[in-house]
């Protein structure tokens, strides 16, 4: 894809996001046909942010998450600093049409992981992690029917990134736990508890983290020190609306919460 086409596609997606509007699909001459073209468009979104990339998200790391957006495998997106909130904050609900909340494991990177030919292994990736945080993500899409537009366009749409809540640092005991077996609960005002566990995240959130590192490496992108990687929903995406409070309960590791106004 030509750079001017990728830039035009990114501008259209960013304009739609800021206006709280949706489109049916990108125009044919701006539409990505491959994952690589989707990432090329996504990269251009950085030009519409006034701050450096805060971190990265992984969408569709669970069967429920994949079904929710109509794809059969994970995709990566950028987390921009202006979309980040802190534990307990009240968040403007805005024009979020997807209207779901997800409880996620978010790893803070302690040193750069640069692109290379050999895939990264879990041991060396975990050695590069400085901390684990608890997190809530509220995704959204710039597409009217996000279930049918396909992976390349969803990648261009920043893997459905919208708002992200960075919760507290987990106690260091997380390194000794089987995160796949760790049970989580999402509590939303007026709804039954939504149970989940780490195994819903590509089998283990640490596996998802390694996937992200290698996905970025294949794209020639360095995962930088201090960036956060949020690894995908541990439960089914839970419906939310303005006025709701959301709590992500990670058992022994603690809780993260936010509210919507």
pLDDT at 65: 74
Mean pLDDT of 131-137: 98
Residue with tokens 């990134």: 161
pLDDT at 28: 97
pLDDT, mean over the chain: 96
Residue 89: how many CB atoms within 10 A of its CB? 14
Burial of 118 (0-12, 13-18, 19+ CB in 10 A): exposed
- For residue 238, pLDDT over 80 is answered with yes
What are the tens digits of pLDDT across the range 92-115? 999 999 999 999 999 999 999 999
- For residue 70, pLDDT over 90 is answered with no
Angstrom CA distances, 76 to 158, 169, 188, stand at 7, 23, 26
The domains of the chain, with CATH numbers, are 3-260 (3.90.850.10)
**CA 106 to CA 228: how far, in whole Å?**
6
- For residue 64, pLDDT over 80 is answered with no
């Amino acid at each position: 894809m030509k750079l001017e086409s990728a830039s035009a596609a990114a501008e259209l997606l960013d304009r739609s996001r800021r206006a709280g509007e949706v489109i049916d699909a990108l125009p044919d001459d701006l539409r990505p046909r491959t994952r690589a073209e989707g990432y090329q468009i996504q990269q251009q979104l950085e030009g519409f942010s006034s701050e450096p990339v805060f971190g990265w998200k992984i969408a569709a790391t669970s069967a429920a998450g994949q079904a929710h957006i109509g794809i059969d495998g994970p995709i990566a997106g950028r987390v921009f600093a202006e979309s980040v909130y802190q534990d307990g904050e009240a968040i403007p609900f805005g024009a979020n049409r997807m209207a779901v909340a997800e409880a996620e494991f978010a790893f803070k990177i302690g040193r750069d992981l640069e692109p290379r030919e050999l895939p990264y292994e879990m041991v060396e990736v975990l050695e590069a992690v400085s901390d684990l945080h608890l997190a809530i993500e509220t995704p959204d899409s710039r597409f009217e029917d996000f279930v049918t537009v396909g992976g390349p366009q969803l990648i261009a749409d920043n893997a459905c990134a919208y708002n992200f809540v960075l919760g507290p640092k987990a106690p260091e005991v997380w390194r000794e736990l089987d995160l796949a077996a760790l049970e989580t609960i999402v509590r939303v005002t007026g709804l039954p508890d939504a149970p989940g566990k780490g195994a819903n995240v590509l089998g283990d959130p640490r596996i998802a983290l390694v996937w992200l590192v290698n996905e970025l490496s294949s794209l020639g992108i360095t995962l930088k020190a201090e960036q956060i990687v949020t690894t995908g929903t541990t439960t089914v995406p839970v419906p939310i609306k303005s006025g709701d409070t959301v709590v992500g309960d990670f058992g022994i590791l603690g809780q993260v919460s936010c509210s919507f106004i």
